[in-house]
Structure 1
Amino acid sequence: MTKPFQKDEPVRLGAADFFARSKARLTFDVPSALYDPNIVPMSGDPGTDKMLEIVAREQPVRPAAVLIPVIDRPEPTVLLTQRSAHLNDHAGQIAFPGGKIDAMDASPRDAALREAEEEVGLSRDFVEPVGYLDLYGTAFGFRILPTVAKVRPGFELTINHSEVDDAFEVPLSFLMDPANHQVHSKEFRGMERFYYAMPFAERYIWGATAGILRVLYERIYLP
């Protein structure tokens, strides 16, 4: 669970320290709340959590998996996608590779790896899963289990334009600097909802993607 809108001093971690901390602090234990319809997963933001409680009364909160691909460069980067503009849900938004967990998937990490291959052609030969981050509930009715992964450079991407318009890298140091964790808000059903945003150049990273990145920061960078 996030610590909403808390300001912290920046912590710099090199690639080796980041992956070492991630392996020490994360596991592949699947939380029961991923599949239990009686448990409403939280995001850490009271406004978003209230929205999710409302959505959960109207429809099932669907299990999903995303990959957080951290590329092992001298200055590590995170691979993100921009969803296609024609999609019905979250069109044009910045996202991690990922989607719903299918019955054929052996595990949530397998679903995340499959989705990354399908969306951007990221071969799992280059990907070393490290562990699951906290389960994250979205106000649009998803319970997302992120897989943090170490990605070896040298891969080539093939964009599936039916799902994704673009894929790009953002420095991990930018995303993990709390000075870049902005707080924005909008109204939903008469309530004010607060959420994280991390604008990077012309890219507007916000909502669940920014919220999950904030969870990553709190799990790996804070003591």
Structure 2
Amino acid sequence: MSEFTAENFRSRVLDRLDGQSYEPAGDHLLNPEIEDYGEDLDKVRDAAVLIGIVDRGADASILLTQRTAHLRSHAGQIAFPGGKIDAEDDGPIGAALREAHEEVGLESDLVEILGDLGHYYTGSGYRVVPVLATVKPPLILSPNPAEVDEVFEVPLSFLMNPENHQKKSGEFRGKTRYYYAMPFEQRYIWGVTAGILRVLYNRVYA
């Protein structure tokens, strides 16, 4: 079996993450001297994203979106389908499935939930739960133009190769902060999305 099939991913997740307990991950791991992360924030907003592994045979892919430029949070960036957890949602899984349907038209009956990566804290004040799942094609998606400019896939083999994980720095709120970037063809995957992908690599493929 190829290392990067959807079935191999499923087996790895169920084997490595079942019953495991991890410290919260987040942007702060690259920026330990900066204190505005995590539980000490006055207002932490809970969110969930769907890491959807699309079954593409020998080389599965990860479903990603290009966010529209006018959004208040992470405008114009590449992201997983997802958003804030509403009171009506059935926890992070319910939120991730709802947001994936609202943003890109992904039907929940094509999705097999495998687990999650725990909490990931962002410098913008979110406590994100990345929900892990496999997705069965064929996919007939319809991006919501109010939130998503484009939906696309990137090979799992590329994103889980540490040689493609670049450590970058930039100024944010007057301080130098470090982040991961994973440029792929004309796409620039960076920030929270790349950070979550790095956690996925560390816990499932490293």
**Alignment TM-score, normalising by the size of structure 1:** 0.83
Structure 2 unaligned regions, length at least 5: none
Match of 1:114 among 98, 108, 121: 98
- 1:138 pairs with 2:122: yes
Question: Cα–Cα, structure 1 residues 124 and 48, in superposed 2: closer, same or farther, change >3 Å?
Answer: farther
Check 1:111–1:19 CA distance in 2 against 1; reply closer, same or farther (3 A cut). same
Is the strand fraction higher in 1 or 2? 2
Secondary structure at the residue paired with 2:197? helix
Instruction: Tell me if structure 2 keeps the 8 A contact 1:27–1:132.
Output: no
Aligned counterpart for 2:56 among listed residues 70, 73, 87: 73
- Are 2:205 and 1:221 aligned? yes
Q: Deviations over 1:71-98 (max 9, x none)?
A: 0111100000010112122111000000
Tell me the distance in 1 between the aligned counterparts of 2:194 and 2:76. Answer: 15
Is contact 2:93–2:131 with CA below 8 Å preserved after alignment? yes
**One-letter amino acid of the counterpart of residue 67, structure 1:** L
Residues 138-191 of structure 1, C-alpha deviation per residue, up to 9 Å, x if partnerless? Answer: 000000000010000112101100011100000000000001000110123443
Count of aligned pairs between the two proteins = 204
Helix, strand or coil: the match of 1:65? strand
| Separation in 1, partners of 2:134, 2:56 | 10
Q: 2:141 — aligned with what? A: 157
Which whole-Å CA distance do the structure 2 matches of 1:122 and 1:28 have between them? Answer: 28
- Aligned 1:91-102 pairs, distance under 5 A: 91-102=75-86
1:85, 1:42 → 2: CA distance? Answer: 24
CA–CA separation in structure 1 for the residues paired with 2:35 and 2:177? 8
Q: Which segment drifts farther, 154-163 or 19-28?
A: 19-28
Measure, in 2, the Cα distance between the counterparts of 1:21 and 1:93.
29
2:6 equivalent to 1:15: yes
Corresponding residue of 2:159: 175
Provide the rounded CA distance (Å) in 2 between the counterparts of 1:157 and 1:49.
Answer: 42
Distance in 1, matches of 2:125 and 2:156, equals 28
Displacement of 1:29 after TM fit? 9.1
Aligned-CA RMSD value: 2.5
TM-score (norm 2): 0.90
Counterpart of 1:61 in structure 2 is 44
* 1:55 and 1:140 in contact (8 A); partners too: no
> Which of these residues, 93, 101, 109, is aligned with residue 125 of structure 1?
109
